[in-house]
Amino acid sequence: MATRNALYTPLTLAVLALVVGPIGIAVFVLGFGHGDSPCVLCWAQRTGMVLIALTGLFVIRFGPRPRYIGLAVLLAAFGIYMGLRHSSLHLWRDVGQGFSAEIFGAHTYTWSMFIYWVSVVMMGALLLMLKDGEATGEARRLRPLERATLWLFLLAAAGNAVQAFASTGPPPYMGQGDPVRFSFNPAHWVWSLEEWRPAPISLRGRWAIEKPDVGLASADPAGSPLAAVPVLPALRHATIALPLDGPITDLAYNEATDRFLVTTEKGIYITDGAFSRVLRHTVVDTMFSVDLARLAAGTFLAPDTVLAVSENKSYVILRESDRADAAANFRYFLASFDTFEELSRSRFSTVRAKMMYVMSVAFDPATGSVYTVTVPNAKVKRLVVSRFDRRDMTLSEEFTPALGPDSGLAFKTEKGSIDSFYPSGAAFAGGRLYVISAAFGTLLAIDPQTRTVVLARTIPGLERPIGLAIKGSEAYIVNAAGAITVVPLPS
């Protein structure tokens, strides 16, 4: 008997804690007392707890049979998933933000992950305490504590049923994504069908966004949303014929040293001002630590310091060094371990641009600002300029530029938008952010102070531009194969 009590007493106390704690307090204190109404996801989490408590009562009454333990494990797996599913919608918010009340500094829905985790631990402890053959015993007579737990469970389940009917309603009503305050007065009940609205189905949900590809953009200037855009003729053409580890992804220029920065999907190359030779290079291990995916853009932060940004807005900062420790750099690079020092590797965090990739980066030394510009995708079509402070690489502002009132630019139709452009390269000069668009072969100039497009020029024959650099009064536009189109920098 002592052995059996050692098994069932902890289990009974655990079920009692589940019934009185998250199940009972949620409905009687938070619900009936403070008017807190669960959303449809909260109900899924709470329902899982009720079913786990019920399964625990079956074990107390009929013994720890495998079917009960297995069912409880499945319910806990469902609950952990729902806890992650619900909490992930809000964990990215600023500190203290969320829904419903806080308990010890954490909002109620985040507690479900801990509760379900404890349930799994209790199931494991129960299995460890079982002796061979004990899982197939006869039905038990309930002791007073166990009977009290059963009646408290029925009371808590009934309370939840009452609240569920009042706040959710009978089928086909299924709850609300953002529920109103609970009330016993039927005049204040809101039964909603909003959660039945169709939604796109994907294994990755809203994160299923295609990667950037300039081949998706139409180069025909006739398709531009802007009317009567002036033409910018090419001054000359050139080719980057250097040994690189893959197709080019961006181009940048540093006036102080008369050198270009060329990036590939993993490579960073410093060349002379005529593209005649590679002065320094390395190949970054993009899978080490922060996932850099494919390097999509690069810029100089200083004459000896470069920033490379991946399409997912992760970045790496490297500084040139003739005394770099090759052994220490093995973890960072895949080749040429002794030419750069890695200063940092991290991620840009955005708000408006969160669901969009980037293919461009530019640096303004006058303000110490790093700029990125988004590319559209099938789900989000919006041109967002994000500015980050060089001192801590933290987001300072974001904006969607409008057409400048003095630019002379206008849309062809009322529905025209610059969101149709496909920014694939950027550079900063003269207080302006210049952006080359693979769509419509257009060069845009954006004034960060007024947040407007102040200039646009189409460049005939421009095919799939991938990078932009400004050298003096000229703009160098490059494609993945290394073909360069040089045009005068419009002012």
Peptide bond preceding 172: is omega within 30 degrees of 0, i.e. cis? yes
Judge whether 371 and 445 are in contact, CB under 8 Å: no
Predicted confidence at residue 2, as pLDDT, reads 45
User: What share of the chain has pLDDT > 70, as a percent?
Assistant: 96
Q: Hunting for tokens 């003739």 — which residue is that?
A: 322
Which of the residue ranges 59-73, 198-212, 381-395 would you say has the lowest mean pLDDT? 198-212
d(CA 270, CA 306): 10
- pLDDT at residue 206 greater than cutoff 60: no
Q: Is residue 225 part of a domain?
A: yes
pLDDT digits (tens, 9 = 90+) for 66-75: 888 889 999 9
My answer on whether 187 and 128 are in the same domain is yes
d(CA 275, CA 270): 9
d(CA 31, CA 23): 11
Integer CA distances (angstroms), 186 to 155, 173, 182, 268, 463, in order: 22, 15, 10, 67, 65
Q: Is residue 424 part of a domain?
A: yes
Q: Is residue 207 part of a domain?
A: no
Q: Is residue 211 part of a domain?
A: no
Predicted confidence at residue 1, as pLDDT, reads 45
d(CA 91, CA 107): 10
Q: Tell me what the mean pLDDT of segment 352-369 comes to.
A: 96
Q: DSSP characters for 283-329?
A: EE-TTSSS---SEEEEEEEETTEEEEEETTSEEEEEEE-SS--HHHH
What would the two tokens of residue 299 be? 């810029």
Q: DSSP characters for 180-195?
A: PPP-SSGGG-----GG
- pLDDT at residue 137 greater than cutoff 70: no
My answer on whether 168 and 236 are in the same domain is no
Q: Tell me what the mean pLDDT of segment 323-349 comes to.
A: 94
pLDDT band at 94; cut points 50, 70, 90:
confident
My answer on whether 79 and 123 are in the same domain is yes
Q: Is residue 199 part of a domain?
A: no
My answer on whether 130 and 22 are in the same domain is yes
My answer on whether 54 and 171 are in the same domain is yes
pLDDT band at 203; cut points 50, 70, 90:
low
My answer on whether 181 and 253 are in the same domain is no
Nearest alpha-carbon partner for 474 in 487, 485, 483? 487
d(CA 26, CA 159): 10
What would the two tokens of residue 418 be? 């610059």
Could you tell me which residues come within 8 angstroms of residue 483 by beta carbon, excluding any fewer than 6 positions away? 237, 238, 239
Please state whether 177 falls in left (phi above 0), alpha (psi between -120 and 50) or beta: alpha
Q: Is residue 367 part of a domain?
A: yes
Nearest alpha-carbon partner for 25 in 231, 195, 135, 163? 163
My answer on whether 162 and 249 are in the same domain is no
Q: Hunting for tokens 């900062």 — which residue is that?
A: 317
Q: What average pLDDT is seen over the chain? A: 91
Tell me the whole-structure pTM to 2 decimals: 0.80
Last residue of a domain, one of 163, 194, 225: 194
My answer on whether 180 and 325 are in the same domain is no
Nearest alpha-carbon partner for 309 in 355, 261, 254, 239? 261
d(CA 185, CA 16): 31
Burial 315-347 (b: 16+ CB within 10 A, else e): bbbbebeeebeeeebeebbbebbbbbbbeebee
With 0-12 / 13-18 / 19 or more C-beta atoms within 10 angstroms meaning exposed / middle / buried, residue 405 is: exposed
d(CA 43, CA 200): 23
My answer on whether 360 and 451 are in the same domain is yes
- pLDDT at residue 114 greater than cutoff 70: yes
My answer on whether 426 and 298 are in the same domain is yes
pLDDT digits (tens, 9 = 90+) for 415-441: 899 999 999 999 999 999 999 999 999
Strand, helix or coil for residue 203: coil
For 9-162, strand residue ranges (E) read 102-103, 106-107
My answer on whether 142 and 254 are in the same domain is no
Total domains in the fold of the chain? 2
Predicted confidence at residue 134, as pLDDT, reads 65
Q: Is residue 209 part of a domain?
A: no
Query: What's the CATH number where 300 sits?
Result: 2.130.10
My answer on whether 148 and 230 are in the same domain is no
The total of other beta-carbon atoms located within 10 Å of residue 406's CB is 9
Q: Report the relative pairing of strands 402-403 and 452-458 from DSSP bridges.
A: parallel
Judge whether 240 and 272 are in contact, CB under 8 Å: no
Strand, helix or coil for residue 410: coil
- pLDDT at residue 6 greater than cutoff 90: no
The total of other beta-carbon atoms located within 10 Å of residue 421's CB is 25
Q: Is residue 375 part of a domain?
A: yes
Predicted confidence at residue 207, as pLDDT, reads 63
Domain that holds residue 73: 2-194
The residue type at 191? W
Phi, psi of 110 (to 5 degrees): -75, -20
Task: State which H helix or E strand residue 437 sits in.
Answer: strand 432-437
The shares of helix, strand and coil residues in the chain, as percent rounded to the nearest 5, are 30, 30, 40
DSSP code for 205: G
